[in-house]
Amino acid sequence: MKRYDLIIIGAGPSGLSAAIEAAKRKMNVVVFDENARPGGQLFKQIHKFFGSKEHKAKIRGFVIGEQLLKEATDLGVDVELDSTVMGIYPNREIVVRQGDHVNHFKGDSIIVATGAAENMVTFDGWTLPGVIGAGAAQTMMNLHGIKPGNKILMLGSGNVGLVVSYQLLQAGCEVVALVDAAPRVGGYGVHASKVARTGVPFYLSHTIVKADGTDHVTGVTIAEVDSKFQFIPGTEKHFDVDTICLAVGLSPMSQLLKMAGCEMDNSGPAEVPVIDESGATSVPGIYAVGDVAGIEEASSAMIEGRMAGIKVAEYLGFEEAEKGDKEFDKNVAALDGLRQGMFAPRNRGKKIEKTEEGIDISENLLLHGFVADDEIERFPGVTHRAGVHPVMECTQNIPCNPCEDACPKHVIEVGSNITNLPHIVEGNECIDCGMCVASCSGQAIFLINEDTGDGKAEVTMPYEFLPLPTEGQTGKALSREGKPVCDATVVRVRSSKAYDHTNLVTISVPKDMVMKARFFKAV
């Protein structure tokens, strides 16, 4: 039986991060993962992360996965793939199925980082081929290059549903509707806005009645629900679709922890281990990090992994307590930064009525997925001035500040509190470099020139679709709602390595449409 200082179960963001911290401290570390590829959810995440530099903000998820894997292997971490951990037994012994063999390993410590599984909902026809989880759709698109379907309805308006809806559009799918039984959009407003401006309608307080089809999905019927989530007769709406995506939450995969005898908490919607700040469970030497200990973003999972890796090293004598505690405290502060703002864990389930600055939140954003024209001007990032200048349609307090770091002329400021709404620094002039537009993880920044002469104005927007528009191409400018508002002509297309695959498309529109035109559609 082979022995390791540390056995990690799960090669996702938290598991790899823990492995790196432990290996830095000269521990003998192995990571087991049941998949053929390491990285967990990271390699499916083609969008840019939120947060700050220390949280790997504005870096795409799959790039973060590549960075973590390289760092771990360079430090000598043994990453064993296609290795399913079947059980944890007394004295931290595990049994692993590898190919046709079942092998036993012993660890002086174990970190469980098994992540979470997608939830499903039942309705008439839910077992038909074509009803899939949003995570499965991401796997098909972003790992295997396969379109999940042609016409798709998305159920769920949390971050997963919003992000995957956008990625479905990028893959060339038509998203006919985004539906949620909840009365409000559940995910970040910037994610909802970038979906809405492409023309996808939102149906809040609606859910699926049935899926049509005999051997595969051919259509879906939704209906409005009341406050008790009961269908309201006469509100049915039908869509012709070939695929239904479900993004209705995640459940921690905590079975191994339960098997190991760890104390479990059943008070919430899912069973999770009882842990302390370092991830330590009630069983000495066994830790839990990432989604298995509670659903959060991948950025949080990485920090939790680092914290556990440091504490395991202390626990086994590979790190001096004083030095380890200093590193641990830095990560505690970084994690606390991510747990601030409107979407902080303490605010789950609450209706936030004002921003931290005291500004009324956008009700239209919560109900329909986009900020209305009569609401947008109240936010500090939306300003008017001569010449090219940024307009930041960031309307919720989320932890994110890449725009501040990206601007070489310091035109944009977020401030010491990472959840502050960004604003313009008076006296500093924009040079139209486009770095703020490209760096915004929520695609919520536009460069505006309100008067270019002859009754025209220009809007520069982020664009992550193929084929790219070409200079001189004509089409329609779409509003925040995704409705055509005017004719538009492409006057400039910029692509740069520094933009990291976020292209900048500048369109010319009538002056009175400059604060309404937010997307370009070729005709």
3-state secondary structure 389-437: EEEECCCCCCCECHHHHHCCCCCEECCCCCCCCCEECCCCCCCCCCHHH
Cα–Cα distance list, 173 to 146, 148, 154, 159, 367 (Å): 11, 8, 12, 19, 24
User: Identity (one letter) of the amino acid at 471?
Assistant: E
Query: What is residue 139's DSSP assignment?
Result: I
Q: How far is CA 501 from CA 95, 438, 448, in A?
A: 43, 8, 21
CATH topology of domain 120-246: FAD/NAD(P)-binding domain (3.50.50)
Q: What share of residues in the chain are helix, strand, coil (percent, to 5)?
A: 25, 30, 45
Phi, psi of 273 (to 5 degrees): -75, 150
State the Cα–Cα distance between residues 176 and 187, nearest whole angstrom: 19
Q: Closest Cα partner for 203 from 427, 369, 394, 402?
A: 369
pLDDT value, residue 37? 79
Mean pLDDT by 10 residues, the chain (523 residues): 96 96 98 87 89 86 92 96 96 96 97 96 97 96 95 97 98 98 96 98 98 97 97 98 97 96 90 96 97 92 97 96 94 91 86 94 97 97 96 96 95 94 95 97 97 96 97 98 98 97 98 98 93
What's the confidence (pLDDT) of residue 72?
A: 96
pTM of the model: 0.94
373 neighbors 483 (Cβ within 8 angstroms): no
pLDDT of residue 270: 83
Burial class for 139, CB neighbours closer than 10 Å (0-12, 13-18, 19+): middle
What is the DSSP secondary-structure string of 43-70?
Answer: GG--SBP-B-GGGTTTSBHHHHHHHHHH
**CATH architecture designation of domain 2-116+250-338:** 3-Layer(bba) Sandwich (3.50)
Q: What six digits make up the tokens of 77? A: 């971490």
- Are β-strands 243-246 and 151-155 bridged in parallel, bridged antiparallel, or unpaired? parallel
- With a CB cutoff of 8 Å and minimum separation 6, the contacts of 113 are 8, 9, 10, 12, 14, 15, 18, 288, 289, 290, 292, 301, 305
**Parallel, antiparallel, or unpaired for β 503-510 and 484-494?**
antiparallel
Contacts of residue 397, defined as CB under 8 A and 6 or more positions apart, other chains included, come to 340, 341, 342, 355, 356, 419, 420, 421
Q: Which of 422, 489, 502 is nearest to 454 (CA)?
A: 489
State the Cα–Cα distance between residues 492 and 357, nearest whole angstrom.
Answer: 36
Predicted pLDDT of residue 9: 98
d(CA 458, CA 517): 9
Q: How many CA atoms lie within 13 A of 446 on its CB side?
A: 27
For residue 323, count other CB atoms closer than 10 A to its CB. 13
Two tokens at 422? 């960004």
Residue ranges, comma separated, of all CATH 3.50.50.60 domains in the chain are 2-116+250-338, 120-246
